[in-house]
Amino acid sequence: MKSHIENICQKPKSRRLEFKEKFPKGDQFAKTVIAFANGAGGKIIFGVKDRPRQITGLRDEDIFLLEEHIANHISDHCLPNIILEIYIQFIDNKNIGILHFPASIDLPVYRCPEACKAFIQKNIALSSTIGEIYRQVNYRIATIKTISYCKYWIF
């Protein structure tokens, strides 16, 4: 009998489900997480190749790094903070990582470059600091708004 996660791995990619063979480079991961958080929430499953769908697994030594990288990436690039759950499951003698998060209650969630986050954490924002809000539209991530902060906004 297949486990719940094995059944999910057989489902098609959707507005609430993504598959990643490994952690993506660049800011595409943050955009996907933000789109899910601004929508209905979702799951991103690591260690599963999307086309053709195949469980490739994660190396044992990469599991801790993946968890740390996910938490740091989301913390560094997403505001307000996103609540998430990261867990590992063993399927077909392979480790897969599951990132699950509900829809955010603090909307909208937006992408904030690291420089922006540093200024906000220090309670200062500069006019050159820009954030973007993403949403899933027809199974694609779309920018729905770009925001900027007023110069020397002090909290």
**pLDDT attached to residue 132:** 64
Rounded Cα gap, residues 21 and 128, in angstroms: 35
Residue 63 lies in a domain: yes
Residue 142 lies in a domain: no
Considering only 2-6, 47-51, 107-111, 116-120, which range has the smallest mean pLDDT? 116-120
Percent of the chain scored above 70 by pLDDT?
A: 72
Residue 69 lies in a domain: yes
Q: Helix 114-121 crosses helix 60-77 at what angle (to 10 degrees)? A: 60
Span 46-101, pLDDT tens digits = 999 988 889 999 998 888 888 888 888 888 888 888 888 998 998 889 999 999 98
Residue type at position 85: E
Find the domain containing 52 and state its range. 4-109
Residue 9 lies in a domain: yes
Token pair for 143:
């920018």
The structure tokens 């990261």 sit at: 86
| CB 132, CB 78: distance < 8 Å | no
Which residues does 108 contact at the CB level (< 8 Å), separation at least 6?
Answer: 38, 133, 145
Rounded Cα gap, residues 93 and 20, in angstroms: 18
Average pLDDT, the chain: 76
Rounded Cα gap, residues 85 and 7, in angstroms: 19
Report the domain count for the chain.
Answer: 1
Q: What phi and psi, each to the nearest 5 degrees, are found at residue 103?
A: -60, 140
Rounded Cα gap, residues 111 and 130, in angstroms: 9
Residue 137 lies in a domain: no
Residue 133 lies in a domain: no
Plot region of 117 (φ>0 → left; ψ -120 to 50 → alpha; else → beta) = alpha
pTM for this structure? 0.74
Residue 60, domain CATH: 3.30.950.30
Strand partners of residue 19: 45
